[in-house]
Amino acid sequence: MNVDPGLMIWTLITFFIFFGLLTKFATKPIMAGLKKREDSIKESIDNAEKANMDAQKLFKESQEKIRTAQQEMMGIVNKGRQQAEEIIRKALDEAEVVKKQKIDEAVREINRSKDNALKELRGEVADLVIFATEKILDETLDKEKHYKLVQSYIDKLPNN
């Protein structure tokens, strides 16, 4: 290889002239493009950070809303449970009152039936006593008079 010093000098001069022209005319547009690209990237990063902060804020708000909704739901469930328990308690109280009324009514009916049966039994006993007395004495007694007499003795008996 043969190196020509003249060609080398002219190549260097051409290179430095081209470099100078490039530096003088291309440096500003290249730097402006780089600056513009840098600003665009920086703006994209800022927008991404802002979007991330907004997303985190929305996430926190939605979590708070969910927590509030859960608390309200638990309150509604508890209130419903209390109302159901109150309704059941009232129904049991009403059933107890009705049961007591039915028992009292049954006791009254039994006592009425017992009293009626005792009255009928007393009347029959009085009739039987008079009839037996007539048979024993073999004569007819004044039925009305003796009935009252027997009835007064029966009335003196205990009412068990």
pLDDT at residue 131 is higher than 90: no
The number of beta carbons lying within 10 Å of the beta carbon of residue 14 is: 10
**pTM value?**
0.43
Would you place residue 98 in the very low, low, confident or very high pLDDT band (cuts 50, 70, 90)?
Answer: very high
Question: Is residue 134 within 8 Å of 141, Cβ to Cβ?
Answer: yes
pLDDT at residue 114 is higher than 80: yes
d(CA 147, CA 131): 10
d(CA 63, CA 38): 37
Mean pLDDT of 131-143: 66
Encoded amino acid at 14, one letter: T
Question: How many domains are contained in the chain?
Answer: 1
For residue 134, give every residue at least 6 positions away whose Cβ sits within 8 Å of its Cβ, in sequence order, or none: 140, 141
Range of the domain at 69: 5-156
What pLDDT shows up at residue 106? 94
139: left (phi over 0), alpha (psi -120 to 50) or beta: beta
pLDDT at residue 160 is higher than 70: no
Question: Is residue 132 within 8 Å of 150, Cβ to Cβ?
Answer: no
What pLDDT shows up at residue 141? 58
Output DSSP code: residue 157.
Answer: S
What pLDDT shows up at residue 113? 93
For residue 151, give every residue at least 6 positions away whose Cβ sits within 8 Å of its Cβ, in sequence order, or none: 122, 126
What pLDDT shows up at residue 43? 96
Higher pLDDT, 29 or 45: 45
Question: Is residue 151 within 8 Å of 127, Cβ to Cβ?
Answer: no
Mean pLDDT of 72-97: 95
Mean pLDDT of 47-61: 96
The number of beta carbons lying within 10 Å of the beta carbon of residue 95 is: 10
What pLDDT shows up at residue 103? 94
d(CA 129, CA 150): 8
